[in-house]
Amino acid sequence: LNEVASHCLKAGAPSAEVCAVDVTDIALFRERLKALLAKLGDVEIFVANAGIGDTVPPTQDGSEHAIRMVDLNIKAAFVGIETMKPHFVARRGGVIAGLSSVAGFRGLPQAGIYSATKAALAVYLESLRGDLSPYGVRVSTITPGFIGTALNQRAGKLPFLMNVDKAGEVFARGVVRGKCYITAPWQFIPVTWLLKFVP
């Protein structure tokens, strides 16, 4: 986080604040968000980015995986956005973004829990988009495909694998512009559309 803050300052940011918190500790998360907002005075963009991915084979009890993914991928995202939402409504502008996934369009094998959490976030953001539009607040749904993270690199050969830095640029550019949906790599746009109609 300190390294990211250093990059922000070098890029011209007037200041950069760093705060580490367990976002599944809801009370503490809300407290830190409000304290950070008070310190900054204003926030133009809020990105709910925390999340984990996991696969659960059919022979395994996935209860613990389900609890962990729901707590992080859904509850923490919802709480973060809902805590910040009144600020954006009051300022009548800005961008709220959430990190869903192309897996949210169609359940993936052995990743039903993960796919469901990302679908839940995507539908929530879709609804929020309509609610906040009259206040000038834009809502972005980020849907990454296969990005060259350490986790995906361990998974072996994946189609349309995209470099992390390049993907980051695509997502950041889309969020700053307040695009409704931001998908990368671009090849997943037609693929996800087709998946809705494939049995």
Catalytic pick among 114, 124, 135, 181? 114
For residue 88, CA distances in Å to 27, 38, 101, 165 come to: 21, 14, 24, 28
- The set of residues, in sequence order, having a beta carbon less than 8 Å from that of 129 and lying 6+ positions away, is 138, 139, 180
How far is residue 94's CA from residue 128's CA, in Å, rounded to a whole number?
Answer: 13
For residue 185, give the H/E element and its range. none
Q: Which residue has the tokens 């011209």?
A: 12
How far is residue 140's CA from residue 171's CA, in Å, rounded to a whole number?
Answer: 10
Tell which phi-psi region holds residue 41, choosing left (phi > 0), alpha (psi between -120 and 50) or beta: left
CA angle (119 as vertex; 94, 175 as ends), nearest 5:
25
Could you confirm whether 114 is annotated as catalytic?
yes
Residues designated catalytic: 114
